[in-house]
Amino acid sequence: MTEEVVRETGGTRASLQLLYEISREFAQALDLRTVLQRVLFLSLKTVKGESGSIIVLDEDGELRDSAIIHAGNMMDRNTQQLKMALQQGLMGWVVENREATLVSDTSRDRRWLRGKYDDPDTGARSSVSAPLLVRDRLVGIMTLSHPQSGFFTDNHLELVQTIAGQAAIFVLNASLYDESQQRTRVMTALANSAASINASLNVDDVLQSILEQIVEALEVDAVSLALVDEEAGELEFKAATGSGRDSILGLRIKMGQGVAGWVAQNEEAIIVPDVQKDPRFYNKVDRQTGFLTRAIACVPIRSQDKVIGVIEALNPTGKGFGPDALVVMDGIGHLAGSAIDHARLFEQVEVARSRYLELFEDNVDPILVTVADGKVVESNRSAQRMSGFLEAELKTMNVHQLHAVDWEVLGQNYDNLAGQHPLSYESSLQTKDGGSIDIEVYVRRVNIADTDHFQWILHDITERKRFDKLREDLASMIYHDLRSPLANVVSGLDVLQSMLEKEDPTVQSVIDIAIRSTERVQRLSNSLLDTMRMQSGENLGNPEPVTVEEIVRDAVEAALPGANNKEQQIKVALSASLPSIMVDADMIKRALINLLENSVKYTDKEGVITVGAKRKGGWLHIFVRDTGRGIPPDKIDTIFDKFTRVREGAAGSTAGLGLGLAFCKLAVEGHGGKIWVESEFGKGSTFTFSVPVAS
């Protein structure tokens, strides 16, 4: 057997042994990095190569992983140099042409790029490179080299092609396995994060849980989380782990400042493998906290398509951030956005609930909450204190047992409570000890858990009732004590007027003033008496037909002196052919005088007051319109109540008991009519009342 045949036979045997070993390595391991290193080591050993590399590409042709051996030692990969080689060097040619190539003398082949491990003192070398192809997909490139030029032959090229062909399938499988493992790690990290983050609705607990999940998933030295303060245009660090944690909490940086500020402003996740080479790095934070940052992975926290903060992972404990780092952080960032929003909303709800409970429990007025049938479901401390019942006892009771409900005000089935405004009425609270307390009840409809409930506020009006009684007693006393002396004054003035000479205008003017004043006092005392009579349910004196012109004339004559003193005009606007009205003439005249004097009092100097009447069916509407300052909106609903006076917004302060408009209301309603006011604050008021037309 010749020497050449022996060499070929030995080479074939070695090649077969290599292929067998490679197949066994692939079968024993699915870890991509392990497979690459073992295959490369065996291949170099078989062809007696010194250096080599296997580069794995992803579907987009981007560098995914690699194994590099130089002089029998595994080397760290230089990502930037490998990318350059894939674009310009021998490997780049293989990628572009998808075929194997043999370079006998690298010094004479322009495709060869000198690597960082090439010895600058050595000259040419030989190299062989082959693509790892699975059908039409390029999954990688294998390159082997020897320090002696011309060492590799076509036999070596065929062998490397065979190895590459066999390795391609296994590398692809390992890549897919690695990708599936990566997805599993990501999904596991996200699932754990979701479970942990959603385990609490406390904002601080949620933030701390987010950081713990990232530390566990990425194995980093520290993690920090900052939230956007939109008003200040800043990021505030709200949570952190690792050394320097206490120093960073509460720290603020401007939007766009540092890596975190850049991510928040640009809404883009980034990895900075070496912060000292990145101009965006803000080293003031390190100086303040004493922490030494080497590498950063930073992602925005999003909620409803809006960046609300950022998460920073610092200094991975391994060689660097893996390809799944941003995927994990971005996923946790999305979870964090929803969790933070939910926690904030929960916190706001809790604050509102606490504030409501505080207002509810500490309210000075008793408050009850009932369902539609009146069953009490909630009561505050004031309700328990005033009624004498315990909370548990009140929850067994119906609101009707505690006071008489005014269904005329509320309407059957609470029909009058359609809006949000409360309705009110007076009643008496029946206490546990059998007592009774005068109350004003305010009722409003409230929605709780999509169910109609009713809130009852029971305001104690015992003191008000007592003062009302004192006022009424005082008014009664004033009337009865004034009546006799006033009659004597009127009689004396009549006698005095008949005795004096009528030619003296000064004396006559004084007498006229005295007579008008006594007449006004008489009207006031009579109105006071009539108010008490009508409130007690007594009928009117003697309604009879009377012309409206007569009532208006007398009323204007009584109010005119006061108007003249303020240089005001009183205009009369009566429609032609007005019918007579069926009224107690004296009572309605006094009501109209009250309205005119009220307008005179609340209208500025040189103002205009108009009195008129119009027929509306079987009723005559009599009105008094002025150019005063009007009535404040919050006073309109109570202006006809007894002892109510407009103290603000009118032309100066006023004196009196506040019975004039209350008398007008009782007098008009005693005739079956109505009285109302229309007012625009600052522009005047119009008082109108209706009385029946005489048949």
The CATH code of the domain that includes 379 is 3.30.450.20
First to last CA, the chain: 151
569-591 burial: b if 16+ Cβ within 10 Å, else e: ebeeeeeeebebbbbbbbbbbbb
Domain shared by 169 and 266, yes or no:
no
Asked whether residue 572 carries a pLDDT value surpassing 90, the answer given is yes
Q: What is the pLDDT of residue 638?
A: 83
User: What CATH number does the domain containing 664 carry?
Assistant: 3.30.565.10
pLDDT per position as a tens digit, 178-193: 667 666 666 666 666 6
What's the average model confidence in pLDDT over 210-219? 77
Domain shared by 417 and 448, yes or no:
yes
Cα separation, 562 vs 16, in Å, equals 130
Q: What is the pLDDT of residue 450?
A: 83
Q: What is the pLDDT of residue 528?
A: 66
58-71 burial: b if 16+ Cβ within 10 Å, else e: eeeeebbbbbbbbe
What's the average model confidence in pLDDT over 148-154? 89
Asked whether residue 315 carries a pLDDT value surpassing 80, the answer given is yes
Position 527 in a domain: yes
Q: What is the pLDDT of residue 652?
A: 46
Domain shared by 617 and 480, yes or no:
no
User: What CATH number does the domain containing 83 carry?
Assistant: 3.30.450.40
Pick from 349, 344, 284, 353: which is nearest to 308 by CA? 344
Count of domains observed in the chain:
5
Pick from 303, 283, 301: which is nearest to 226 by CA? 301
Domain shared by 419 and 474, yes or no:
no
pLDDT per position as a tens digit, 459-474: 999 988 888 787 777 6
The pLDDT confidence band at residue 667, using thresholds 50, 70 and 90, is confident
Asked whether residue 369 carries a pLDDT value surpassing 80, the answer given is yes
Flag the least confident range among 42-51, 182-191, 249-258, 425-434.
182-191
Domain shared by 495 and 567, yes or no:
no
Cα separation, 172 vs 212, in Å, equals 34
Domain boundary residue, one of 494, 514, 536: 536
The pLDDT confidence band at residue 535, using thresholds 50, 70 and 90, is low
What's the average model confidence in pLDDT over 619-640? 89
The pLDDT confidence band at residue 320, using thresholds 50, 70 and 90, is confident
Q: What is the pLDDT of residue 185?
A: 63
Flag the least confident range among 284-298, 314-328, 353-367.
314-328
Position 340 in a domain: yes
Flag the least confident range among 320-329, 440-449, 654-663.
654-663
Torsion sign (Cα): 199, 204, 207, 211: negative
Domain shared by 513 and 549, yes or no:
no
pLDDT per position as a tens digit, 222-245: 888 888 998 889 999 888 888 777
Percent of the chain with pLDDT over 70: 81
Domain boundary residue, one of 454, 477, 510: 454
Given the structure tokens 């609300």, which residue do they identify?
A: 308
Position 283 in a domain: yes
Percent of the chain with pLDDT over 90: 26
Which domain range does residue 470 map to? 465-536
Domain boundary residue, one of 424, 454, 484: 454
CA angle (649, 655, 659) in 5-degree steps = 95
The top-scoring range by mean pLDDT among 63-72, 107-116, 132-141, 167-176 is 132-141
The pLDDT confidence band at residue 502, using thresholds 50, 70 and 90, is low
Domain shared by 475 and 439, yes or no:
no
Q: What is the pLDDT of residue 74?
A: 82
Cα separation, 491 vs 655, in Å, equals 28
Compute how many other C-beta atoms are within 10 angstroms of the C-beta atom of residue 372. 12
> Mean of the per-residue pLDDT values for the chain?
81
Q: What is the pLDDT of residue 115?
A: 59
Q: What is the pLDDT of residue 204?
A: 74
What's the average model confidence in pLDDT over 522-543? 67
Pick from 373, 395, 365: which is nearest to 454 by CA? 373
The top-scoring range by mean pLDDT among 63-77, 317-331, 532-546 is 63-77
Strands (E), 241-280: 252-254, 270-272
Domain shared by 401 and 478, yes or no:
no
Position 292 in a domain: yes
Domain shared by 229 and 264, yes or no:
yes
Position 190 in a domain: no
> Is pLDDT larger for residue 546 or for residue 117?
546
